A and B are shown apart, each in its own frame.
Chain A
Amino acid sequence: MIFEKRTERILVPMFFMVALFVPLFLESNSFFVGKVTTIIILSIFVMSLDFLVGRVGLITLGHALFYGLGGYLFVILSPEYEAVNFWVYTFYICGIAALIALVTGAVVLRTTGIYFIMITLAISQMMFYYFFDSLEFGGDDGVFIFMKPETSIFGLSFLNLDDPQHFYYLALFSLFNTLVFFKVVLRSRFGRIVEATKQNPDRTEALGYNIFAFRLTCYVIGSTLGAYAGFLFALQYGFVNPSFLAWEMSGTALVMSILGGLGTIYGAILGTFTYEGLQYFFEHLTEDWLLFMGSAIILMVIVLRKGIAGYLEKLLEK
């Protein structure tokens, strides 16, 4: 069983059961379906960050780089007025994002601790300015995606990305797969060494493991999935702009993952939904919602140290 904790075995099926039926009940309310789709996509991004920060021990403040790259790579690679194949382009985008992660990872992973935090931030900031200043990609305003890809496999098409409900299910399917994938990876022999490296890197190295290689592999995995989430997000909204890879995006995702329960993987879903819910609530309450969000984050660091998952586990695990 890849879900080792009771809390996961209760919450995960519950979430996906409910999520499966959401669009059916809200058929008329496509705004709401779109909003939930966005949060699901964001959950994938946050989950990939939770893996890196909570499980591998790489505190990155530049994860949004890959979120943005997911969108921009699509714009760069695909012809403007022609629908391309979704699966083929997913493959391209993830492949190139993985390659970029491999190269940047080889640089950033030379550093540790506080340096790692700062250099990941700086690299993502560098790419932020690259797109911000580029005339080709619309600078500040970003670029529109006019044609959504088609999704046929061997001529069979069962998914229409222009339909919000279909898109919803694609996002949900992706989230489920991401969750299962991370759980499988963490349970593997590879995952054992990753876990060991986080707990005690020096000892792991002294036992003969090339911890750099393990960290780099994880960095590539996490970054690639982050890019996939960004790709989905860009498709849903039909545009991509530099704010995708702004540092605020990385910072917010980090807050979400900690709110959910750092390193729990499934907690990313809890954290993202809660954060977005809170934001929605504050936004409607007051224009100055950022003040409340900021205070909530500060309080969270001081009081709620294990995140929502931590509290649920306290209740549900014996």
Chain B
Amino acid sequence: MTTELFFVQLINGVQYGLLLFLIASGLTLVFGVMGILNLAHGSMYMVGAYLVWYFATVTGSFTVSAVLSAIIALSLGILIERVLIQRLYNRNHLDQVLLTIGMIFVFNSLQSILFGNDPYGVAVPGALDGGIPFTDNSSYPIYRIFAALVCVAIAGVLYYVVSRTRLGMLIRAGESNREMVEALGVNIKSLYTVVFAIGVMLAAVSGIIAAPMRSIVPGMGESVLITCFVVVVIGGMGSIKGAFVGALLVGLISTFSSVLMPSMSNMIIYIFMILVLLVKPQGLFAK
């Protein structure tokens, strides 16, 4: 591997890892605060990607489409939590798994009814098209750098919200102690609705950001969901910090393995996860 290729892959890996973090953070947040394992989390990623594609073809503006899609996703999150997820709070893991599998079926079928099963692509917004010259004869796409920066910015906001604000305090308290949050006079129901909606939006925003870089295809939600599982299992379920470390590890490992041993690359993150679990059955940053 040349140094140049190494650096390109390094940036690719970090960028992919950051995107994974954005998706996984929603999954782990919802689990950490509400104790809900949302298998339909990947579907929300898919929803984001399809929505932004649809609005982009209609309006022609990526920015407008992105904002519209994010707002719709947020409303969708609130709706789902109010109508369905609320029924799961005192249920076991199994019911959660089932209900969210049902949701995957519904979203996949809505996708095929509304948008068909052809693969789509979203054009990179004009201002971010092109590349940053890397060496004399190669360059790195600006949009990928931009996407990475957006992920970092959102991660920063998330960190700030969780560690510095009143909402964050409630979230941290809700993780450890339901009654305490209630004692603070906060309606735990509204807190859960907000957290779930944020989780959905994080997934959808990841889909929006990823749309110009990846093809939009049926089944994209599930494949990303399972990668996210690997991320949060490695990092420790419910831990945002764990999700961050796990996502970067998975991003780097899968990027480098796809260059170094392409035939194994799909498998390698799972092998890595198993190794981590053998040493730490609760993940790296378990509480």
Q: Do any beta carbons of A and B sit within 8 angstroms of each other in the complex?
A: yes
**Interface set, chain B 93-107, CB cutoff 8 A to A:** 93-95, 97-99, 101-107
3 closest Cβ pairs, A-B complex: A294-B105, A297-B102, A126-B270
A-B contact pairs, 13 of them (CB 8 A): A115-B237, A122-B274, A125-B270, A126-B267, A133-B264, A258-B98, A291-B109, A293-B105, A294-B102, A294-B107, A297-B102, A300-B98, A302-B87
A281–chain B nearest beta-carbon distance, Å: 16
In the complex, how many angstroms separate the beta carbon of B261 from the nearest chain A beta carbon?
11
Flag if A117 contacts B37 (CB, 8 Å).
Answer: yes
- In the complex, what residue of chain B is closest to A289 when comparing beta carbons? B109
Residues of A within 8 A of B103 (CB): 294, 298
Chain B: which residue is nearest A130 at the CB level?
Answer: B267
By a beta-carbon cutoff of 8 Å, the part of chain A in contact with chain B is: 53, 59, 61, 107, 110-111, 113-115, 117-119, 121-123, 125-126, 129-130, 132-133, 247, 251, 254-255, 258, 262, 288-291, 293-298, 300-302
Q: Is the pair B106, A288 in contact by a Cβ cutoff of 8 Å? A: no
Complex CA distance for A296 and B101, rounded to whole angstroms: 11
Closest chain B CB from A114 CB (angstroms): 5
Establish whether residues A114 and B95, one from each chain, have CB atoms under 8 Å apart when the complex forms.
no
Which residues of B have CB within 8 Å of A107? 274, 277-278
A316-B282 Cα distance, complex, nearest whole Å = 45
8 additional contacts, CB 8 Å, given A121-B226, A126-B271, A251-B101? A117-B93, A117-B97, A118-B232, A119-B277, A290-B109, A293-B105, A294-B104, A297-B99
Minimum Cβ distance to chain A for residue B60 (Å): 30
Give the contacts of B190-238 with A (CB-CB under 8 A). 222, 226, 229-230, 232-233, 237
Q: Which residues of the partner chain A approach B271 to less than 8 Å between Cβ atoms?
A: 126
Residues in A neighbouring B232, C-beta threshold 8 A: 118
Q: How far is the CB of B3 from the nearest CB of chain A, in Å?
A: 29
User: Which B residues are CB-close (under 8 A) to A262?
Assistant: 94
Whether, in the assembled complex, B139 has its beta carbon less than 8 Å from a beta carbon of chain A, the answer is: no
A interface majority secondary structure = helix
A294 to B283, CA, bound (A): 32
The answer to whether B266 and A129 have CB atoms under 8 Å apart is yes
Residues 270-287 of B, flagged 1 when their CB comes within 8 A of A and 0 if not, give: 110110011001110000
Q: Which residues of B contact A251 (CB under 8 A)?
A: 97, 101, 104
Question: Looking across the interface, which residue of chain B has its beta carbon closest to that of A295?
Answer: B106
Query: Closest CB-CB distance, A150 to chain B, in whole Å?
Result: 36
Given A122-B270, A133-B263, A288-B113: A114 in contact with B105 (beta carbons within 8 A): no
Whether A118 and B101, one on each chain, are in contact in the complex, defined by CB atoms closer than 8 angstroms, is no
Contacts of B113 in A (CB 8 A): 288, 291
Q: In the complex, A298 Cα to B222 Cα: how many Å?
A: 18
Q: Find out whether the CB atom of A294 lies under 8 angstroms from the CB atom of B263.
A: no
Residue B112 interfacial (CB < 8 Å): yes
Interface size class of B (residues with CB under 8 A): 35 or more
Q: State A61–B37 Cα separation when bound (angstroms).
A: 13
- In the complex, A300→B107 CA distance in Å? 17
- CB contact under 8 A between A294 and B109, given known A247-B226, A254-B98, A301-B99: yes
Contacts of B186 in A (CB 8 A): none
* Min distance, Cβ B281 to any Cβ of chain A, angstroms: 5
What CA separation (Å) do A61 and B94 show in the bound complex? 10
B84 is an interface residue with CB less than 8 A from chain A: yes
| B31 touches A (CB below 8 Å) | yes
Contacts of A111 in B (CB 8 A): 277, 281-282
Tell me, in angstroms, the Cα distance from A298 to B230 when the chains sit together: 26
Query: Across the interface, do A297 and B281 meet the contact criterion of CB distance under 8 Å?
Result: no
The answer to whether A123 touches B97 (Cβ under 8 A) is: no
B108 within 8 A of A: yes
CB distance from B247 to the nearest CB of A (A): 15
A247 to B108, CA, bound (A): 15
Chain A CB within 8 A of B110 CB: yes
**In the complex, what's the smallest C-beta–C-beta distance from A83 to chain B, in angstroms?**
32
User: What chain A residues lie within 8 Å of B108 (beta carbons)?
Assistant: 290, 294
Given contacts A133-B266, A294-B105, A301-B95, contact A110 B87 (CB under 8 A): no
Collect the chain A residues with CB atoms within 8 Å of residue B87's CB.
301-302
Contacts of A289 in B (CB 8 A): 109
The answer to whether residues A301 and B229 also contact, given A110-B277, A115-B281, A117-B97 and a CB cut-off of 8 A, is no
Determine if A119 and B273 form an interchain contact, defined as CB atoms under 8 angstroms apart.
Answer: yes
Least CB distance, B253 to chain A, in whole angstroms: 14
- The contact of B233 among A115, A126, A291, by CB within 8 Å, is A115
**Whole-angstrom CA separation of A119 from B282 in the bound complex:** 11
- B229–A290 touching, CB < 8 Å: no
Cβ–Cβ < 8 Å partners of B84 in chain A: 298, 302
Contacts of A133 in B (CB 8 A): 263-264, 266-267
Q: Which residues of B contact A113 (CB under 8 A)?
A: 93
CB-CB nearest in chain A for B35: A114
B35 smallest CB distance to A (angstroms): 9
Chain A CB within 10 Å, residue with most, of B87, B95, B226: B226
In the complex, chain B residues 113-162 whose Cβ is within 8 Å of any chain A Cβ: 113
Task: Kindly state the separation between the CA atoms of A207 and B104 in the bound complex, as whole angstroms.
Answer: 42
A117 to B110 alpha-carbon distance, docked (Å): 27
| Contact of A114 with B104 in the complex, beta carbons under 8 Å | no
Q: Which residues of B contact A298 (CB under 8 A)?
A: 84, 99, 102-103, 106
